[in-house]
Structures are given as C-alpha cells and as structure tokens.
Structure 1
Amino acid sequence: MAELPGHGPGPVRTCIGCRKQGSRSELLRLVAQGNGSSVVVVDERRRMAGRGAWLHPDEKCLALAIKRRAFGRALAGAAETTAVERYFMPGMPLAEAPASAGKPSKPESGSEI
C-alpha cells in the first residue's frame, strides 16, 4: 500500500482551525460529550465514542476554529468549547469560566439544615 507523499505513516486528518492536513498523531481529537450535548471535550486517549473532529495543539488553530464556528459544523451543533480552551490554558482560574446557564445550585444531600 502506498503512502501519501509528504505525510508520515498512518491516517491523515484535517485540522478544523487552519484546514491543513497532518498525521493523526500531530492533532488532538475532539468530541461532543454525548447525548446531544453541545459541550466539546478533548479526547486525549482517542477512544471516546462518536464522531471526532481534529485540531492542531496550537492556540492559533483554536482561535481560527472558534472564529470560523467550525466546532458546530464538525460536531453536529456542538458549540460549548470551554473545556477545549481550558486544555490549552490549564492555568486559567475557574472564576473566568462562564457561569452555567443561571441555574441555582442544589445543596449536597445531607447538608440541609
């Protein structure tokens, strides 16, 4: 079986940010969190079920993908990219993360007085 010229061995994927091709080992796999969820997560082990999208581990590619609204097209309406952004910026404090849809939080069981 012949290899594609210019690419190493293995499957070739396209980055949803810059639209350049690369080997599977060069790119991050992203998936929608399941059950019709709009949350996009990084599949570090590349084993999660469902359709995947691929992104270079580069902040420029992430910014391009967000600007082009590529997550929603690649992953059937998934648009919540906070988990992916946190992957790129692990030092980001949780206070900067968007609040969850304004729903009041429930106290843990047994903590009610």
Structure 2
Amino acid sequence: MKVEALDSVVVQRPRRVAEHQPHRISPVRTCVGCKRRALTGELLRVVAVAGRVVVDERRRLPGRGAWLHPDPDCLAKAERRRAFPRALRAPGALDAREVRERVEHTTTHHEPGTSPGSRGTKEAGRTRHESAVKLKP
C-alpha cells in the first residue's frame, strides 16, 4: 500500500448552528394578551411593583417582566385571562391601571392604521411622504 501526501487538501471547520439561522433585528417575545409573537420594539414591557403592573419604559426595571402589545384588545384579553399575575409570578391580583392609561394614551394619539413607531404622520389628509413628493395634476 502506498500513502500519498495530503498537502493540497483543504479542511473545513464545522459550521456553527447560529450561522444557519436568519439574522434578527431584535429579540422576539410573546404578548401575554393575544399570545402572538412580535419583536420587542413593538411590545411594551411590564413588571410588577408593589401590587401594581407598571410599564417599564427603558426596559431596565428589576424583576420578571411580561410583554404586551400597546393595544386595548390585548390588554383586555390579558386582564380577562388573569395573565399578569401568572406571567409575572406575583401572588394575588395586580392593579393594571397604569398600563391601561398608557395603552389608551398610545391609541388616542395615533391615527388608525399607523403604528406608534411609524414616521408617516398625517398632515392635512396627507402623509409626510406625500407632502414632500410633487404630485401630477
């Protein structure tokens, strides 16, 4: 038997599993109201503080958090299912008044059909983009 030199053989490293997954912009979480998955930028983080559910604006408050769409329907479903005490692992009922006020404030200050983070605000019946583009008569 003759053994040949393997000088020209290229050995490849095994690929990591992370290389096969698509790149995500931000983490995905599940809304406690509607049970749909969404990016964290689309959801509100809420935590339990002294028997109340509060919105964690900066997403830095300590403790277990839960995620919720800023939508009155999702909030109503979460309250009806008693999802906040279960998701936050808090004993007893929690007061969600602050979250309700925040969701109502968010929905009343945005036009229907636009998300809170969208840049196309309505200006006299047109979006900002339409105002910038000269339309033909």
TM-score above 0.5: yes
- 1:76 Cα deviation after fit: 1.7
Structure 1 segments unaligned to the other structure (5+ residues) = 91-113
The residue aligned with 1:38 is 51
One-letter amino acid of the counterpart of residue 33, structure 2:
G
Give the fraction of aligned pairs with identical amino acids, expressed as a percent: 51
Note the C-alpha offset of 1:65. 0.3
1:3, distance to aligned residue in structure 2 (A): 2.7
Give the deviation of 1:10 after TM superposition: 1.8
Q: CA deviation at 1:79?
A: 1.4
Amino acid in structure 2 at the alignment position of 1:75 = L
Within-5 A mapping of 1:23-102: 23-33=39-49, 37-77=50-90, 79-90=94-105
> Which of 1, 11, 19 is the aligned partner of 2:27?
11
Moved over 6 A (4+): none
Aligned pairs, how many? Answer: 84
Unpaired runs of 5+ residues, structure 2, are: 1-17, 106-137
C-alpha distance in 1, partners of 2:29/2:54? 18
Task: Tell me the distance in 2 between the aligned counterparts of 1:59 and 1:3.
Answer: 32
Q: Give the root-mean-square deviation of aligned CA atoms.
A: 1.5
Name the structure, 1 or 2, with higher relative contact order (CA <8 Å, separation 6+).
1
Partner of 2:7: none
CA–CA distance in structure 2, aligned partners of residues 9 and 66 of structure 1: 30
Q: Could you tell me how far apart the structure 1 residues matched to 2:45 and 2:103 are?
A: 13
- For residues 25 and 22 of structure 2, what CA distance do their matches in structure 1 show? 7
